[in-house]
């Protein structure tokens, strides 16, 4: 937006003022448009996504900035902006050109997964160790996520279980292993709304089987128990055709 204001919306003037070629300017505008269009969807791969090799604002190691930023600093029109604006441009170029991960799996520089939230990287060995510990406690992976933190310089792992019940305010989370703790309440706000809606739905259930099915669902979403979810599925498959139709 600052660049737009700097040239008064007349992007062609930047060709001469910033020593750019027309092709570079066109590529930048297309790339910036795609970037803004995909905000909030940075990990989604679109078929019409293109890489613009014509762009010359690659990172320069010795300056830790881009040639576009360097060129912009020589533009007379851009020099009227405060240093904060130029710093913002430098901070934007990196994410603008960053290569996003294009697949799911173990977290790494090129792969992202919502199963492992947070900024601390998890190795496959750490994930395997936690998985083994979780299995010993008969917990299921379908409604859990794993977050790695550091406490007093040592790694601590929190198993985040989806449930309406919330342990976030608890100072003593349930300890599963030496450095592994179970924390209920992942997606608690959303699941609380789901439970509320299912409770209202019980008033419209036409028979006891359907009520029982909904009660197991509510129990599962409230507590995070997948045993309750499995119980609901058992009720589901044992319902007769007549019970379904009534």
- Per-residue pLDDT tens over the stretch 4-41: 777 788 888 878 877 778 888 887 787 777 766 655 44
- State which H helix or E strand residue 171 sits in: none
Reported as a pLDDT band with limits 50, 70 and 90, residue 54 is: very low
Residue-wise pLDDT tens digits, 140-192: 888 999 999 999 999 999 999 999 999 866 667 788 988 999 999 999 999 99
- Which residues fall within 8 angstroms of residue 124, CB to CB, at 6 or more apart? 106
Could you tell me the two tokens for 121? 């990287």
Report which of 6, 4, 64, 62 is spatially closest to residue 28, judged by C-alpha positions: 4
Whose structure tokens read 């020099």?
A: 79
Domain boundaries, given as residue ranges, for the chain: 1-104, 124-186, 189-241
CATH 3.60.60.10 corresponds to the domain 124-186: no
- What's the pLDDT score for residue 159? 93
- For 66, the 3-state DSSP assignment is strand
Q: Tell me the pLDDT tens digit for each residue of 186-211.
A: 999 999 999 999 999 999 999 999 99
Could you tell me the pTM of the whole model? 0.56
Distance from the Cα of residue 99 to its chain's centroid: 16
């Amino acid at each position: 937006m600052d660049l737009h204001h700097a040239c008064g919306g007349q992007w062609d003037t930047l060709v001469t003022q910033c020593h750019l070629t027309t092709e570079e300017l066109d590529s930048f505008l297309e790339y910036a448009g795609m970037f803004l269009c995909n905000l909030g969807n940075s990990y989604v791969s679109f078929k019409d996504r293109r890489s613009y090799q014509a762009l010359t604002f690659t990172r320069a190691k010795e300056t830790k900035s881009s040639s576009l930023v360097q060129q912009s600093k020589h533009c007379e029109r851009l020099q009227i902006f405060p240093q904060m604006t130029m710093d913002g441009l430098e901070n934007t170029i990196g994410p603008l050109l960053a290569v996003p991960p294009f697949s799911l799996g173990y977290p790494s520089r090129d792969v992202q997964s919502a199963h492992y939230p947070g900024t601390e990287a998890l190795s496959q060995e750490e994930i395997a160790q936690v998985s083994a510990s979780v299995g010993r406690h008969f917990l299921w992976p379908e409604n859990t996520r794993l977050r790695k933190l550091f406490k007093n310089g040592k790694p601590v792992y929190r198993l985040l279980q989806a449930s309406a019940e919330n342990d976030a305010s608890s100072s003593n989370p349930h300890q599963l292993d030496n450095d592994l703790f179970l924390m209920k309440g992942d997606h608690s706000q959303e699941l609380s709304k789901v439970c509320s809606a299912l409770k209202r739905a019980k008033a419209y259930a036409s028979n006891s089987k359907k009520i029982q099915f909904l009660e197991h669902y509510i129990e599962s979403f409230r507590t995070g128990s997948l045993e309750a979810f499995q119980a609901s599925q058992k009720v589901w498959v044992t319902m007769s055709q007549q019970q379904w139709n009534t």
